[in-house]
Amino acid sequence: MHSQPGTSADRATLELQRRLEEAEETLRAIREGEVDALVMRNPQDEDEVFTLEGGTESYRAFMEVMEIGAAAFDVSGRLIYANKALLMLLGMREATLDTDIFQSLGKAQRSAIADAIHMGLNAKVSREMVLNRPDGEHHVQLSASPLTLGLSRGVAVTFTDITARIQALAALESERAAHAVIASANEAVIVCDVNGIITHANAAVEGVTAQNPIGLPFSTAIPIVVPDATGLVEGNEFVSLAISGSAVQGIEAHAPQAPRIKDLLISAAPLRLGERIAGCVVTMVDLSQRKALEKRQLLLMGELDHRVKNTLALVLSIAKRTGTPDGTVESFKKAFASRIQALAATHNILAERSWDSVALREIVRVELEPYLGEQHARLQLTGQDFRVKPQAAISLGLILHELAANAAKYGALSSLDGHVDVTIHDNAEGGASLEWKEQGGPPVFPPTRAGFGQTVITRSMQYAADGGAEMRYDPDGVWCVIRIPATEITRMAG
């Protein structure tokens, strides 16, 4: 059944046939190079006519002079024309209109192109995609715009290789990140070029050199010596080794001209940009604290050796003087053990203070603790406190032990009513004195002979000119004043 001419359906059919014939004629003219004008839709959604004068080759010439890839598609997405720049971008030398120039692309790339063509029929759109070529990835930006060719519509698509721009942005971002890392590093960081000239330095370098190091050779900016290398290794050698590709790690060095950080742990590594060595990176870690700690440890070891020898000599002296011709083994063991314990008690509090100095009150409490137990009220300790150095602390510990032992055996601590008053005095000469006074105990009689305890009390502080002790056996209790030299006193803050 055929439609009758003159009806609206017939007119629509005839109009459609006419437009198809015009489209086919337009496509034929493009293939034959007969098109000499383009109608492009501008951003204001207006059509603009671009006339290409000069014959049938003008259109092709226009497309071919473009440095970016360009192609034209009809409304169905079929390729009408592709310039040589696009073929080169796709890795092709030449192609005909029947060639599928996108056949080597992946699914994602073909989908991106199809989407750009579809969207570009009505408005300008842009897409980015990545082409995987034998020479590496290429970043491509697609721009599709509506195109009118004669009486037919189509899409013009350009393919711009933006790989260089992407790589430049990535390199710039990488350089910014590297600068941020160097700037935020706690250790000093320096970058040298292939000639060993410093090109970058972070803020921490100010502790290693007082001058601006940029533009100077490393050895000029930061002169160093390597103590263990006997002068055979210099600063420039670290840089030269790193630039030649050999990393240097963890070398201890000394920078004698550095304003603050003189002891350094230096490492140097090649600065590689791809396959090329562009210089080296030198890092310098502050070893000042570690060196100071090592020096302190050496001093402590020497001091410990000295004190152990002194202590052993003191123990031998105590052992020799504790023994008496008329004494028993049991009495010797008891007296010797108590004196060694008294010595150990003072050693303990000195060790807790790193053998620096200890408070007088602490020595008194430690040495009297074995004789007082929980009866602390029997000891009255008054006066301003002082700290005394180790030698005085050991002597005072032994003196207080002998006074307390004597008080517990014969004096105030031998009865329930007795008590001991200990007063610390600040002497005008800068030293101090410790006054021991017993009261409330049984009557006291002077000893008939000087024992070891009395010898310790009167002689232990005489190693200094203003040190010593005075002792009396008053009937109502023992009285003793121990003078502590000014050189053995450390004043307490507050």
Tens of pLDDT, residues 76-120: 888 888 888 888 888 887 766 667 888 888 888 999 999 999 999
Rounded distance between C-alpha atoms, residue 364 and residue 328, angstroms: 30
The gap from C-alpha 246 to its chain's centroid, in whole angstroms, comes to: 25
In this predicted structure, what is the pLDDT of residue 52?
47
Query: Nearest to residue 349, comparing CAs of 303, 390, 292, 304?
Result: 390
What is each CA distance from 285 to 127, 190, 204, 260, in whole angstroms? 49, 12, 10, 13
Q: Which residues make Cβ contacts (< 8 Å) with residue 204, sequence separation at least 6?
A: 185, 186, 187, 188, 189
Report the distance separating Cα 473 and Cα 93, nearest Å: 122
Question: Chain-centre distance of CA 224, in angstroms?
Answer: 23
Res 373: pLDDT: 82
Could you give phi then psi for residue 366, rounded to 5 degrees? -65, -45
Residues 243, 277 contacting (CB under 8 angstroms): yes
Q: How far apart are CA 59 and CA 64, in angstroms?
A: 9
What angle separates helix 452-459 from helix 288-322, to the nearest 10 degrees? 140
pLDDT of residue 295: 87
Give the C-alpha separation, 312 to 343, whole Å.
Answer: 11
C-alpha 398/C-alpha 412 separation (Å) is 19
Q: Return the exposure string of 173-191: e unless at least 16 CB atoms fall within 10 Å of the residue's CB, then b.
A: eeeeeeeeebeeeebbbbb
pLDDT at position 96:
67
Q: What are the DSSP calls for 306-349, one per residue?
A: HHHHHHHHHHHHHHHHH--TT--HHHHHHHHHHHHHHHHHHHHH
SS3 377: helix
Q: What's the token pair of residue 402?
A: 């002998």
The reported pLDDT for the residue numbered 68 is: 85
pLDDT of 1 reads: 36
Q: Would you state the pLDDT for residue 3?
A: 38
Q: What are phi and psi of 434, to 5 degrees?
A: -115, 115
Beta bridge partner(s), residue 283: 189, 267
Q: Which pLDDT score is estimated for 178?
A: 73
pLDDT confidence of residue 463? 78
| CA end-to-end span of the chain | 122
Nearest-5° Cα angle at 307, 303 to 313: 150
| Longest distance between any two alpha carbons in the chain, whole Å | 160
Extract the tokens encoding 251: 């070398």
Q: What is the predicted pLDDT for the residue at 387?
A: 93
pLDDT score for 4: 43
- Closest by CA to 443, choosing from 422, 421, 414, is 414
pLDDT digits (tens, 9 = 90+) for 339-363: 999 999 999 998 888 888 999 999 9
Half-sphere exposure of 203 (CA within 13 A, CB side): 6
Give the C-alpha separation, 379 to 377, whole Å: 5
Pairing of strands 69-74, 387-388: unpaired
Going by C-alpha positions, the residue among 397, 387, 384 that lies closest to residue 460 is 397
User: Tens place of pLDDT for every residue, the chain, 494 residues?
Assistant: 333 445 665 666 666 566 556 655 655 555 555 555 555 555 566 665 555 454 445 556 666 767 788 888 888 888 888 888 888 888 887 766 667 888 888 888 999 999 999 999 889 999 899 988 888 888 999 999 988 766 678 898 999 999 988 888 887 887 787 778 777 788 899 999 999 999 989 989 999 999 999 999 998 999 988 876 655 666 678 899 999 999 988 888 989 899 988 899 999 999 988 788 889 999 999 998 888 888 888 988 888 888 888 888 888 888 888 877 777 888 889 889 999 999 999 999 988 888 889 999 999 999 999 988 878 889 999 998 999 998 899 999 999 999 999 999 999 999 988 999 999 999 877 889 999 999 999 999 888 877 788 888 888 788 777 888 999 999 999 999 999 999 999 876 55
Q: How is residue 151 written in tokens?
A: 């009486």
